[in-house]
Amino acid sequence: MKKKVFITRSILSAGIDLMKDKGFEVEMSSIDRPLTYSELVEKARHFDALITMLGDRIDANFLEQNKHLKVISNYAVGFNNIDIEKARSLQIAIGNTPDVLTEATAEVALGLMISAARNFHSSQTSAAQGLWRCWSPTDHLGHALSNKTLGVIGFGRIGHRLAEMASAAFKMRVIYTARTLKTNSFNAEKVSMEELLKRSDFISIHVPLTSDTRKFISERELGLMKSSVVLVNTSRGEIIDQVALIRALKNKKIFAAGLDVTDPEPLPIDSELFLLSNAFILPHIGSATFEARSEMSLMAAENVIAGLEGGELKGRVV
């Protein structure tokens, strides 16, 4: 019997071709929305492996009802949507896609730093509203990146790559927090969270979402930051207390925020964040390049193949 793989959303074809070449039967969801939780619980019963998206909730109940699965390959590097301990206890392999999206996501973080610091959102809006009457010597003033201090919270693959870009392109000084000391070629300095919050001109968040990092940035942390700081988040929305962030942006306690991730996602259109001139919001597009998404397709498929054939997953979480 052919092994059966279900992909919960339509993905680029590289990985699908690979799995078909291996002789697997591959079905891909053709509807233009995520399956609901109960649709996915039911659907998974008929397959040996899944390729899941970061919004698919793979909790203990889902896994309990689908213990027959050999492998779940998440089409993302983050895996906070999956109950890892439960998967481990049921011996279901869990894969992810590290490295291949590092460049794409670091580019978005750098883009958000520039966009938020240089008022891209409010400037574009004012021009489109007919307020661009003449060149102005004093309108739309923002903060330079060059020679400033960048604080990276979570100096892993993406945080390190962003720091490298900022250091090379803008001669930024880099300070970071992580649980362990990291080597780097641009004199980035490991500091305490408090020191990072106080010293940074730009702060970019790159820790994974875990029980330790949920609401990592709340009222107290925002209060320690400089009023000129630009805060960027490309990790997960829940790492910031969004109510506290909105208050800080409104009261100009911080200069601006650039967010690729929000809490919840999608961000409701009536969210106050969309009304703030100092918030620059993207709809979670960090890995959305043709290059990264194609490599993610391949890597997610390779993880499925390894999981079904008893090999070692390249991106193995469990």
Q: How far apart are CA 40 and CA 65, in angstroms?
A: 11
Per-residue mark of binding to ligand NAP, 5-44 (x: CB under 6 A): ----------------------------------------
Q: How far apart are CA 74 and CA 14, in angstroms?
A: 16
Alpha helices, DSSP H only, in 138-192? 157-170
Query: With binding defined as CB under 6 A, does residue 303 bind ligand GLV?
Result: no
Quick one: which segment of 64-72, 163-171, 173-181, 299-307 binds ligand NAP (CB under 6 A)?
173-181
Query: With binding defined as CB under 6 A, does residue 180 bind ligand NAP?
Result: yes
Quick one: which segment of 15-23, 143-151, 174-182, 305-313 binds ligand NAP (CB under 6 A)?
174-182
Alpha carbon of residue 283 to chain centroid: 10
Cβ at position 249, least distance to ligand NAP in Å:
20
Alpha helices, DSSP H only, in 66-101? 84-90
Q: How far apart are CA 89 and CA 205, in angstroms?
A: 31
Catalytic residue among 121, 160, 173, 236: 236
Q: Show the CA angle centred on residue 301, arms to residues 297 and 304, nearest 5°.
A: 145
Quick one: which segment of 8-16, 61-69, 76-84, 107-115 binds ligand GLV (CB under 6 A)?
76-84
Catalytic residue among 103, 265, 272, 316: 265
Q: Show the CA angle centred on residue 172, arms to residues 170 and 178, nearest 5°.
A: 135
Task: Report how many residues bind ligand GLV under the rule CB under 6 A.
Answer: 7
| Alpha-carbon distance values, 294 to 12, 17, 108 (Å) | 6, 12, 17
H/E element holding 7? strand 4-7
Query: With binding defined as CB under 6 A, does residue 317 bind ligand GLV?
Result: no
Place of tokens 């993610």: 296
Quick one: which segment of 72-80, 147-155, 181-189, 197-205 binds ligand GLV (CB under 6 A)?
72-80
CB closer to ligand GLV, 98 vs 307: 98
Place of tokens 């240089």: 118
The yes-or-no answer on residue 265 being catalytic is yes
Cβ atoms of residues 26 and 7 within 8 Å: yes
List binders of ligand GLV among 195-254 (CB under 6 A): none
**150 bridge partner residues:** 174, 202
Query: With binding defined as CB under 6 A, does residue 300 bind ligand GLV?
Result: no
CB closer to ligand GLV, 149 vs 233: 233
The yes-or-no answer on residue 46 being catalytic is no
Tokens of 98: 């590290």
The yes-or-no answer on residue 284 being catalytic is yes
Interface contacts to ligand GLV, rule CB under 6 A: 54, 76-78, 101, 286-287
Task: Using CB under 6 A, list all residues that contact ligand NAP.
Answer: 77-78, 98, 101, 105, 154-159, 177-180, 206-209, 212-213, 234-236, 260-261, 284, 286-287
